[in-house]
Chains A and B, each alone.
Chain A
Amino acid sequence: MANLKDIQRQIGSVSNTQKTTRAMKLVSTAKLRRAEELAKRSRLYAVKMNQVIAEIAGRIKCNKVGGIDNRCFIDIENPKMVDIVFVTADKGLCGGFNIQTIKAVNKLLKEYKEKNVKVRLRGIGKKGIEFFKYNEVELFDFVSDLSSKPDKVRSDDFIQTSIEDYKDGKIDGLHVVYNGYKNMITQELHVNKVLPVDTEQFDCNEEQKSILEVEAQDEEHMLDSLVSKYVGYNMYYALIDSVAAEHSARMQAMDTATNNASDMVKSLNVKFNKARQAAITTELIEIISGVESMK
């Protein structure tokens, strides 16, 4: 039978852990509210931006705009090098949040390896960076404190390298992998092919309502600057969506941990009571048998 003191100590330590997890849950709930609000407000813009770009891409694909030969809108056959940008959290203790993203990145890496395509891995978020470093996967570059504090200027700076390299022909694709916010209890993994703009959903046979007109002299300039904004905003949106998802994942993980701790305290209490009862019974038997033997 376990020592009474030992059980008591265990109960104490478990309820202390419970206090910590409960506090973390409350903190995450508060942070989630703010992050969620931000993500919600930006979502509409992100969606419309993607729509506008997709429409332009679709029209370019269907040859409705003559003579536009912008790299960003054309599917590149036999890519040689692609960029994968992943976003994970800077901190752990949020359930499967980070590992889901890492798994998706690994899957993508494997796919490209089979196709003999070189991959430049660019990381945002400490947890993912640590994982790939530990597993000796080469990272092209990384920033480790951007994912907890999304910042438009810094995210633009970061993604600019990929945009420039894409335009210069150094890379032939850009993927952004992150875990996004769906609702309070679920996160949704996004593996977005940002460049070249995805035109698969466009069916050229479908009657287009109208053709696109772009101011003649500056169509290249317009598309270039539009694509930069589009990629930049996609990156930023990935960051804020990821923060919201991180907090919701942590909130959930900590809620489960708190519940587990209270279950554990309950069963330890039962154990403690049993042990105490056993000790009392043994003592009683000893006294009674002592009295008996004196007769």
Chain B
Amino acid sequence: MKNPEQLIRRGVHRKGIAEGIVKTFLGCMTWAVIAVALMIFGRMIWDGAPVFFKREAPFVNIDFLTKKTETLHVFDDAEGNRHQLAASDFHRWTESHGSDAVFNEQTFSYCGGGIAGPIIGTALLTLLSVLMALFFGVSAAIYLSEYAKQGRFIGWVRLAILNLAGVPSIVFGLFGFAVFVLAAPVLTDAPADRSLLSIPLGFTHLSFQGWGSSLIAGAATLACMILPVIITASEESLKAVPQGFREASLALGATRWQTIRKSVLPFALPGILTSSVLSLARAAGETAPIMFTAAVAAKDDLPWQGSGGPLGVLTGQVQALPYHIYTLAARIPTSEYTERAQFGSVFVFLLMIFLFSAASVVLRNRVRSKLKW
């Protein structure tokens, strides 16, 4: 109460109590939201951390992170001891003990082993989609901020960006399914019957029959989804580069492209990268767009282990962490034996997302403090 104006006001109104009540009430609401959020995190960490961390040397459960997903077998042996073994260990056990020694067997799909497949699948999907979206998004942003003048075309582009940003993720899933999975062009010797259009090229056919459910189809769908975010953020960082930089460069006789390449992009790049890390978190977190375009619940080998050479990585289905969590939550009845897989996956997933988000916040602060004009 150092400010005399406030002293006067207080004297005049005597409404301090009402104000106090309203302030407390609204404050409680605000903090309630935060408390609920913290409780959710707390619960996930409380149940997930024991799976992820260990007391002994590496302190991290390496097995859980590097093993493939398997079916979990729970059974009693002849002496009344309960065992929990992943499928491969279970087969080894039955080989040495005989399958007659297994009693009260229960199986839980996808709950044994580790989550290497989903982690790698999510990493590939996210990386690929962000690379695609960055290429197209930054180019579009350069056009919007450096070349475009107000006009009908720009109006349409901005409208499209605005609308794309609002499209529900499941509609992106439908779109990706209809376009990338069923109608995208491929080179093939024998076009499928349901191909939309097949153009003979002499040695082979260009057939619009889709890529099938594959890594590349899922990444393309995700890229379309994060494109508006990347365009908006990139345009903002491009606009933040002072106009003087461009004018000075043009005055020295540089062409428009030289100006952009040498005097604009380098200064906008940190900002662009920061925003792209944030969209990385969003791409990694989405489930609905990849449900029909890329994800598969169970897969025996890692993406590069299948047949089909280096391109096989792109054309094969992948496991993905969010889809894995969905499968575990929706299709497996919760019990004490499934909790390890469920809470462990959620914990690793949250950890990933928060590392991305935190990295983007830290980066943003550093960029802001470094680049000042």
Partners in one complex: no
B interface with A by C-beta (< 8 Å): none
